[in-house]
Chains A and B, each alone.
Chain A
Amino acid sequence: MIAAEGLRFSYAGRPAVDGVTLEARPGRVLGLLGPNGSGKTTLLRMLYGALRPAAGRVTVAGRPLSGMSTREVAQQVAVVVQESGSETMLSVRDATMLGRLPRLATFQRPGAADERAVDEALARVGARHLADRPFSHLSGGERQRVLVARALAQEAGFLLLDEPTNHLDIRYQHEVLQLVRDVATSAVVVLHDLNLAARYCDDLVLLDRGRVARAGSPDEVLEPELLERVYGIGVTRTHLDGHLQLLFHPLAHHAPHPHQDRRLPA
């Protein structure tokens, strides 16, 4: 379990995350939602130790993150970040093999077990046939699958993803999230698309200006009145084939974006 308690972080005095507590429970996919600038990525980066919280603490499987080395964190937590390395000339196999890095000693060369882990990871995301292609030649959807394969090769207990559906067409958005559901033991995923969150996440945390607006099941969090207040957009909720589905429309009275009024000088 990854647990965060009272996390705070500010950029140059402006709070980005302001007292967030959450739990990513084993065997479940937790979605982090919120408008642009609500602190989703900042929060996620604190969960894998890229940012040190100004206050509060993160524990991974009961151990405090602040007491772990970069390498120890990488053995427990695999991350798919937004920076995809689109210019790298590594082959897909070499890029996936990087997932084994946290498990290799300095002078150790990857052995048969590592090769096997890479093969299996690529097979699980359906990318084995891409192994010898240059990573940079892949389409967006293929790249995202390979990045997930790298995370799988890492054999970490937790998988964190920062907007994995960015720049993907609709089919690949669903495919990548289905993949995460299929392969992950426990996952935390930052998402923009609320309907994808409704379909693929077990738990949701909705952030608003660095604070938790609501946490709970998709049914509890994706509530039209709440979303209207946080996003400043009209929301209609329906059901389609037993799945929760949201429809959006501009609010009639042209309310200012909820974040804008806050930035005016007092």
Chain B
Amino acid sequence: MVVAEVAGRGAPTTDPSPVDHLRRSRRWTAGLVAALLVSVVAGTALGAVHVPFASVVEVVSHHLFLVPEQRDWSASRDSIVWEVRLPRVLLAALVGAGLAVCGIALQAMVRNLLADPYLIGVNSGASTGAAAAILFGVTLGLGEHALPVSAFLGALVASALVFAVARSAGRVTSTRLLLAGVAVGYALQALTSFLIFASDSAEGARSVMFWLLGSLALAEWGQPLAVAAVVVTATVALLTVVGRRLDALSIGDETALTLGVHPERFRSLLLVAVALCVAVVVSAAGSIGFVGLVVPHLARRAVGAAHTRAVPVAALMGAVLLIWADVLARVVLAPAGGADRHRHRRPRRPVPARPRPPPAGDHLTS
């Protein structure tokens, strides 16, 4: 019989070994975890002011575990490492990981290799929200967090809009999601441009650029970083757990259905998770591109397309990549003054109704 013949002919060449795949992805994961740890330390050490690696470890260990108990380094080094750079490096890692896994999920959801996290209009929504807050002083009484929060709300409204448009015919298919995302994205971009154009504030317009370009300069210890940590970690875990269902969906809706995965319900669930994650990331760091589009491809190339393996690897790769991109930016564009002065460029907050004392933390830029 033909079938038997073929089997006999092929068998000796490569014996399929599931162990190989597993070993390969374990090796990648272990390597990337190590790379991430090194990157966090290096990212904290490198910059306009160089801090020795050992000193970084010391400072961090002092703050986390009180080991060593006494600090024998200067207050400025302490604040550069602990207050300025470490939160920034951690935010870079979280943003990179979040964007990478959302990119990989969206590429499977719409079965398009050009899809990236901003496909669902989240970044346009965030910049519209931020623009409205900056230009019209809509603070919602949120004080210091007004900007990130309005960006987050804008992002959520945008993805809800995309979802509503994609669903308007009753079913959320991949094509409809793709078209709705692009259409809503363009509409909101136009709205942002109009807001900038209509306002008189040149400085406000410049601040909107923060959300259009993306930046990690807002990083500091506090609620936004904690929220990002929780949401990104949860999203990575969720997408890994539903990895096989993502595999099924990436083949096709009908295939997913015959494998027991309701394609539209599953896509809607993913959309909510991804929108939430991207909204958190964008409100903390603006629309940083590239990571969400390219890292999924790198991860699949490394460990194969199966999402249970590719999602964690993509998260680690995205984290490492963004840490180094930020280090590069900080070193190449180092301010002449020598200190970490990037906080001067932090976007203007919405004009408060009453004068407020300068927020804590700004003394660091001296």
Interface residues of A (CB under 8 A from B): 48-50, 69-75, 77-79, 81, 83, 85, 87-91, 93-95, 97-99, 101-102, 104, 106-107, 109, 115, 119, 122-123, 125-132, 145, 154, 171, 175, 178-179, 182
Indicate whether B2 reaches chain A with its CB closer than 8 angstroms. Answer: yes
Residue of B whose beta carbon sits closest to that of A129 = B10
Indicate whether B366 reaches chain A with its CB closer than 8 angstroms. Answer: no
A78 to B255, CA, bound (A): 10
A130 to B9, CA, bound (A): 11
Q: Chain B interface residue count: which class?
A: 35 or more
Binds A, one of B31-39, B194-202, B207-215, B299-307: B299-307
Q: Does B250 contact A81, Cβ atoms closer than 8 Å? A: no
Q: Does A90 contact B304, Cβ atoms closer than 8 Å? A: yes
Indicate whether B260 reaches chain A with its CB closer than 8 angstroms. Answer: yes
Q: Does B257 contact A70, Cβ atoms closer than 8 Å? A: yes
Known: A83-B255, A97-B244, A128-B10. A102 touches B260 (CB 8 A): yes
| Residues from chain B with Cβ under 8 Å of A89 in the complex | 300, 304-305
7-31 of chain B: CB within 8 A of chain A: 7, 9-11, 13-14, 16-18, 20-21
Q: Does B14 contact A101, Cβ atoms closer than 8 Å? A: no
Residue of B whose beta carbon sits closest to that of A72 = B260
Q: Does B3 contact A126, Cβ atoms closer than 8 Å? A: yes
Q: Does A175 contact B306, Cβ atoms closer than 8 Å? A: no
Closest CB pairs A-B (n = 9): A129-B10, A131-B16, A85-B251, A74-B260, A71-B260, A89-B305, A126-B7, A102-B260, A79-B258
Residue of A whose beta carbon sits closest to that of B251 = A85
| Residues from chain B with Cβ under 8 Å of A123 in the complex | 7
Q: Does A106 contact B304, Cβ atoms closer than 8 Å? A: no
B16: which of A79, A122, A175 is its contact (CB, 8 Å)? Answer: A122
Count A/B pairs, Cβ under 8 Å.
129
Known: A91-B306, A93-B21, A129-B14. A73 touches B3 (CB 8 A): no
Q: Residues 239-258 of chain B: 1 if any A CB is under 8 Å from the residue's CB, otherwise 0? A: 00110110110111111011
Nearest chain B CB to A157 CB, angstrom units: 14
A73 to B254, CA, bound (A): 13
| Residues from chain A with Cβ under 8 Å of B304 in the complex | 89-91, 94
Q: Does A75 contact B251, Cβ atoms closer than 8 Å? A: no
| Residues from chain A with Cβ under 8 Å of B14 in the complex | 129, 131-132
A94: which of B3, B4, B13, B247 is its contact (CB, 8 Å)? Answer: B247
Residue of A whose beta carbon sits closest to that of B16 = A131
16 intermolecular pairs with C-beta atoms under 8 Å apart: A48-B257, A69-B260, A70-B257, A73-B260, A79-B254, A83-B254, A90-B247, A90-B306, A93-B16, A93-B18, A98-B259, A101-B260, A122-B16, A126-B10, A129-B9, A132-B20
A199 to B245, CA, bound (A): 37
A22 to B137, CA, bound (A): 69
Residue of A whose beta carbon sits closest to that of B304 = A91
Residue of A whose beta carbon sits closest to that of B259 = A101
Q: Does B305 contact A48, Cβ atoms closer than 8 Å? A: no
Known: A70-B262, A79-B258. A115 touches B18 (CB 8 A): yes
| Residues from chain B with Cβ under 8 Å of A106 in the complex | 241-242
Indicate whether B6 reaches chain A with its CB closer than 8 angstroms. Answer: yes
Q: Does A179 contact B3, Cβ atoms closer than 8 Å? A: yes
Q: Does B241 contact A107, Cβ atoms closer than 8 Å? A: yes
Nearest chain A CB to B312 CB, angstrom units: 13
Nearest chain B CB to A81 CB, angstrom units: 5
| Residues from chain A with Cβ under 8 Å of B258 in the complex | 48, 50, 74, 77-79, 81
A78 to B258, CA, bound (A): 7
Q: Does B259 contact A99, Cβ atoms closer than 8 Å? A: yes
A112 to B45, CA, bound (A): 46
Nearest chain A CB to B302 CB, angstrom units: 12
Q: Does A88 contact B245, Cβ atoms closer than 8 Å? A: no
| Residues from chain A with Cβ under 8 Å of B11 in the complex | 128-129
Nearest chain B CB to A89 CB, angstrom units: 4
A132 to B20, CA, bound (A): 10
Residue of A whose beta carbon sits closest to that of B297 = A89
| Residues from chain B with Cβ under 8 Å of A78 in the complex | 258
Q: Does B3 contact A104, Cβ atoms closer than 8 Å? A: no
Q: Does A50 contact B248, Cβ atoms closer than 8 Å? A: no
| Residues from chain A with Cβ under 8 Å of B305 in the complex | 88-91, 94
Known: A89-B300, A94-B305. A83 touches B260 (CB 8 A): no
